[in-house]
A and B are shown apart, each in its own frame.
Chain A
Amino acid sequence: MARIFADVIRELFPPISEDTKKRLKELLLQHKNNPYLIFATSLNQVISQGDIISNIPFLTLQEDETYLGEKHFAMLISHTCDFANDNTILFAPAYTIDLFKECFGNNEGLLNSLRDNLIYDKFYLPERDAYPELVVDFNGINSVSKKYILKNLEDKNSDKIASLSQEGYYYLITKLTVHFLRPENSELIREETI
């Protein structure tokens, strides 16, 4: 049983090579001075995890059973392979930084934390020609029909406007890892079955 469990753990938490670790730490240092390194210089040929697509609808169920909804820029959260194979795809909304400015006013500390990627469940993207500064919110993830996405891209109602570089992709998955896979509160006691 321990062997099987270890195999599962190994797949879930793959070890990281010293070389990758070094490169990622360098990226973080460089990223502080040049946040644009996060982007690929051209769009990936296939739709890939981390791609930014415009004009995607998001809905959130509210306590009164209504939905709060709006179209936003969106980041593809589903794995690249899952986008190719699945019918429903996960996207996280990417709000403009102006939304946070309007909400929090002159709270420069908070805005700087967002820009420095120091909020665990948010992923900051610097402005590009095609869009302003964006903050991806992992807490707003929605499931969307792939056919809807492809049709909207074909009809030019949505555009794929950015892809992450290899380093930017690593940066994204470290943030996804921390947000979704961080250790649970040590006071939580789960039943052990092995």
Chain B
Amino acid sequence: MKDEILTTPSATTLFEKKIGADDTNIFMAGSLYSTDYTDILDTASLIADSYNIMGLNTANANILEIESNDCILIKESWLDFSLSLFPNARYFTKEEQEKFDAFKKTKFKKFKFKF
């Protein structure tokens, strides 16, 4: 059954790695690395079933914990939500950043201190 879990295609790399590392101390942090909660929850359910862990309840819970202390799933974090708010955002390109940094050198004062 463990092999089956490890080949579950929907699990994130970290997810699989953690699960593979120690059967008795499963930590699922998939939601920190993926916004595809359905995949994570499906995988969590599969794992919970596989290990006979009881208490996994995915209904309307933001943080799910399995009371045996073996398995902890954070379904959706503030980070996940924040990332979802800006799907089309970006950083300055390298060229834009270099141009802005160079421009500031022409506009701002230069100071020299001795330490």
Which residues of A are interface residues toward B (Cβ below 8 A)?
Answer: 1-3, 5-6, 9-10, 13-18, 21, 24-25, 28, 59, 62, 65-70, 99-100, 102-104, 110, 113, 117-121, 173-175, 177-178, 181-183, 186, 194
Interface residues on B, range: 35 or more
Give B residues with C-beta under 8 Å from A: 13, 25-27, 29, 32-33, 60, 62-63, 65, 69-70, 72, 74-83, 85-86, 88-92, 96, 99-100, 103-105, 107-113
Contact yes or no, A120 B90, CB < 8 A: yes
Please, which residues of chain B bring their CB within 8 A of the CB of A117?
A: 86, 89
Partner of B103, one of A70, A102, A120, A194: A102
Give 9 nearest A-B pairs by CB, closest first: A15-B62, A13-B77, A174-B82, A103-B103, A177-B82, A70-B108, A67-B111, A6-B72, A118-B89
If over half of B's interface residues share one DSSP class (helix, strand or loop), that class is named, otherwise mixed; here it is mixed
- Chain A min CB distance to B78 (Å): 5
What's the nearest-Cβ distance from chain A to residue B58, in Å?
Answer: 13
What is the bound-complex CA distance between A2 and B13, given in angstroms?
18
B110 in complex: contacting residue of A6, A10, A15, A68, CB < 8 Å:
A68
Q: Is the CB of A15 within 8 A of B86?
A: no
Decide: A186 near B13, CB < 8 A? Known: A9-B29, A15-B63, A68-B104: yes
* B76 contacts A15, C-beta separation under 8 Å: yes
